[in-house]
A and B are shown apart, each in its own frame.
Chain A
Amino acid sequence: MLRRYKTVPDLKAHESAAAISFVDPALACKLTAMGVRPGAVIEMIRKAPFGKAYYIKVDGIRLALREEEAFSILLEI
């Protein structure tokens, strides 16, 4: 099936995409308050050394997200 979105872990290093919406309401609540909102451009910086976490940049703010948190952000293709 064709997906019309991707999520943060799909991004390669230094690739960016705009956020569309969130999967999980609890995470959405936390992430929006931290400045990750629909429309915000998310840049992937790197994966954590042992995996399961991502270092991203949103509007100049650096964030570390767990895999679950990163998967919950839907991005534009």
Chain B
Amino acid sequence: MTRGDAQTYKIALVGNPNCGKSTVFNQLTGLRQKTGNFPGVTVDIKSGKIRFAGGKEAILTDLPGTYSLYPTSSDEKIVAALLTHPTNANFPDGIIYIADTHHLEKHLLLLTQIMDLGIPILLALNMADTAAELGIKVNIARLSERLGVPVVFVSGRTGENIDRLQAELEKMMLGTQAIHKTAAFYTLTEAEKQLVEAVQLNLGTENPYRALLIAHHYQWLPFLQRSERETLAAIVETKHFQSLRAQVDETLDRFDRFTPFVQESVQEAPTFPNTTTDRLDALLTHRIGGPLIFFAVMLLMFQAIFDWSVYPMDWIETGFSWLNDGLKAVLPAGWFSDLLTDGILAGFSGILIFIPQIAILFLLITILEEVGYMSRVVFMFDKTMRRAGMNGRSVISLIGGGACAVPAIMSSRTIGNWQERLITIMVTPFISCSARIPVYLVLIGLAVPAIKVGGFINAQTLVFASMYALGVIAAFASGWAMKKWLRTREPSFLAIELPEYRMPDWKNVALTVWEKVAAFVWGAGKIILFVSIALWGLSRFGPGNAVETAENTAREKAQTTQLSTSETEDLIAHHRLEASYAGQMGKFIEPAIRPLGYDWKIGIALLTSFAAREVFTGTLAVLYNMGSAEPDISSRTENQAKMTMRAKMREETFSDNGKPVYTLATALSLLVFYALALQCMSTIAVVKRETGSWKWALFQFTFMSALAYVVAWLVYLVFS
């Protein structure tokens, strides 16, 4: 939207939550839409182009759903801040107001508020299709006459009357609307009048209602100067203006005014019999059945993320290794070819490999959201999550974190309160994600004996499950701690509408999934690619000609001990890595990680797996001369490879005291470290994106690393 020149007509789409705004948006813009950051806010705003028959264009912006211009969440504040700021580059020239025909009365409040701001507006009564089925009849002409705004009956789902809406829109753009009412809908009280006059005098605000809103919101409206804020504070003080009281009175007065209009124009007012929704909710929000069904749904979702993503992930992996091998065969050997294959190509595959899981998770979450189930989950788990400083919706993010923290963090956008959302983002990576599984498997297989504990549970299984439990405990405990530490000025509300269950709008589902996947690829992808290339450089090059020297040494060693070709390759890879910058760094950090029971080789693995945890096993494989990090063709050889790797790891000793490295204590300490540390550049990238600054991403990284370090150290102390 920021691209639009001054000549382009700007239209904003406004309405209450659950009014079906997004479906109307999709109908009007088709696929000509994009998501962008509104200047100064971190919430993504969708905008798109409307093309009219004559070739004219307008830019349509989908503002967050809100109930009134007296906002309670940062999301809703965007609407109030924009509509009270006419000099803002995004200030709309006209507004399409979407209202749900089923609950017309409730939806008119915000409409009348916007009317009083003097912005051209037209009312679209949405869900015409289902309203007709329920026998709701609205006298459009009467409603339009009484309210003084054009009214169109539309259906975002079926596309009914979208052409009429466009026609009305053109009239609005030309300024030839049939009705144009100038009188304010709400009459200011005597006290408000005095207040408004003072604001108008001091700030030069023309519109009285805008002046009133500025007086209500002067503390947070982002466009106000400091001097203006002080002036407004003084005015509010001297006029003894009680903002909250006045807000309630105004709201009730507006209802009193338009309620008769609704009664006059709605024929056969809707009755609300016990519907399917009530019957479903009796089960889905049942005291015992509700949570049980929820856990079953989550289990299935989890299962689906793993099961369905196996094949596409395989294709991506195979495709890339095929491409990699092909390029290596074709290109001349040299650092440039290496950069292309091991750096850039590996980076790309690191981005693309996430797509199946992200797409599936978002598909399922979007469907649950679209049908209306999500708000029931919010209702059921709000109490549980609040204890840990979060909101009911955080459950979804935490569960999603079991597959991959990246999409899980993105799904936290449904949380309105910023503090609750932030805590959710901060603690989600504690949940053990799929990338930790291979690390767990190797380390547990190495150090935990396969004995039965208490006669029935396998010790290995027990440790594996404990890692998951540790993640959950860490998430809730740190959420609880952050709640104590962060004190938000923003009040927290549950007060959420539980919409009617309905079939998902598949077009909207597809668009949402596409949009989120694309956002990940372009946003987090850039950073993943960059770090991949940097890591490649660090492990490829070393100071001076150290790497070359190391390679020659390895070659000589291989010749004297008469190793096979593949063994020679492994030995060279090992020596090169050791001499590289990454290897140097491993040696450099060894003193710091020695208390946890790690040597420099594990240090390198820690450093390389900063990019992504799954790199850990690959790095160790290289370090312990165990051939390529690529998966083997048959699982049998892979198992054998793992077995030999374990054997070699068991033989590993510390260079200074000759004691074995991989004791139970070291393995458990490493397990705990991997369970708690934030070793995933994708997560860091996405946290930066979602919180809008590096501050929280770095805080999270530092906090999780420090916690991992301390707990791993304690574990090592206890078990060694």
Contact = CB atoms under 8 A, between A and B. Distances in A.
B67 A59 contact: no
Nearest to B68: A33
Contacts of A45: 278, 281
Given A29-B244, A49-B291, A61-B497, A37 B383 contact: no
Interface in B467-497: 491, 493-497
B317 interface: no
A37 B103 contact: no
A4 B528 CA distance: 64
B428 interface: no
Nearest to B491: A26
Interface stretch (B247-255, B402-410, B431-439, B546-554): B247-255
A41 B551 CA distance: 82
Nearest to B277: A62
A68 B67 CA distance: 20
B102 A60 contact: yes
A55 B494 CA distance: 11
Given A64-B494, A69-B495, A32 B383 contact: no
Interface residues of B, number: 46
Interface in A1-50: 22, 25-35, 37-38, 45-50
B248 A29 contact: yes
A37 B257 CA distance: 14
B95 interface: no
A64 B497 CA distance: 6
Contacts of B251: 29, 32-33, 37
B455 to A, nearest CB: 35
Interface stretch (B86-94, B190-198, B307-315, B373-381): B373-381
Contacts of B380: 48-50, 53
For B68, B291, B383, the residue with the greatest tally of chain A CB atoms inside 10 Å of its CB is: B383
Interface stretch (B282-290, B343-351, B659-667, B669-677): B282-290
B245 interface: yes
B70 A33 contact: yes
Contacts of A30: 67, 72, 493, 495
A50 B67 CA distance: 28
A39 to B, nearest CB: 9
Given A34-B67, A52-B383, A66 B495 contact: yes
Nearest to A60: B272
Contacts of A77: none
B494 A53 contact: yes
Given A26-B491, A32-B252, A53-B382, A63 B497 contact: yes
Interface of B: 67-68, 70, 72, 102-103, 105-106, 109-110, 244-245, 247-248, 251-252, 255, 270, 272, 277-278, 281, 285-288, 290-291, 375, 378-384, 386, 491, 493-500
The 4 closest A-B pairs by CB, nearest first: A60-B272, A25-B244, A35-B106, A64-B379
7 contacts: A30-B493, A34-B495, A46-B287, A49-B291, A53-B494, A55-B498, A65-B494
